[in-house]
Amino acid sequence: MKNPYGIGERHAPTVDLREGDCPLSFTREDFIRYAGPDQIIATALMFQMLKKASAELANDGLIERNALKVQVGFPGPGVTDIIELVLRGSTRNADNITIKTEGLPEQAPEALIGRFYYEFEYEGKRIALWPVDGYFTEEFRNMVRGFQPRKGDDAEQSAYQSFKQDLIARLMATAPDDLFNVKILSQ
């Protein structure tokens, strides 16, 4: 059956969900357009994380965007932008989004605020996701602290942009199953 909405017919990898009977697909490029060029690491992280959360939680197809609940351990601007774009997390579905930056599991990588730890709940199933070691390191935190947004001289900014591109390439080249630790919190 042809998609009556004409949405989601793309060739780039997508995060897929639905709103009612309308399928929705978002590319990482959509994420970048919404969050902006300074948030390219967050767009890669959230793209992969939403792919993993959907694979873990979608029992019978696509997740309904208005029913997915998220607890955010690192509420950086790029992360919250993507939650708004995909889940309408600060406008229509604000009650589905919780920010908790304290008392998070220490195995989750430290962020500038909180930790890279997220919980997703859908149709009674709740999971926790956090990146495996090696991505969000002390070097990452120092680089972000020192050079974002667009701080430093041209040479420093060039080195930072190269660092970001290398990290993004690693994040996007890793399958979501290999990128995140998963803990089932309720079935």
- For residue 5, being part of any structural domain is answered with no
Per-residue pLDDT at 61: 81
* Cα gap 95→93, rounded to integer Å: 5
- For residue 74, being part of any structural domain is answered with yes
Region of 180 (left: φ > 0; alpha: ψ -120 to 50; beta: rest) is: beta
- For residue 115, being part of any structural domain is answered with yes
- For residue 103, being part of any structural domain is answered with yes
Instruction: Give the number of domains in the chain.
Output: 1
CATH number at residue 44: 3.30.1330.130
- Which string of DSSP letters, residue by residue, matches 160-183? HHHHHHHHHHHHHHS-HHHHEEEE
- For residue 26, being part of any structural domain is answered with yes
> What does each C-alpha distance from 83 to 80, 129, 159 come to in angstroms?
5, 15, 29
- For residue 90, being part of any structural domain is answered with yes
Per-residue pLDDT at 2: 45
Find the domain containing 159 and state its range: 15-186
* Cα gap 41→139, rounded to integer Å: 14
* Cα gap 42→72, rounded to integer Å: 13
- For residue 83, being part of any structural domain is answered with yes
pLDDT in single tens digits along all 187 residues of the chain = 444 434 444 568 999 999 999 999 999 999 999 999 999 999 999 999 999 999 999 987 899 999 999 999 999 999 999 999 999 988 999 999 999 999 999 999 999 999 999 999 999 999 999 999 999 999 999 999 999 888 889 999 999 999 999 999 999 999 999 999 999 999 8
- For residue 9, being part of any structural domain is answered with no
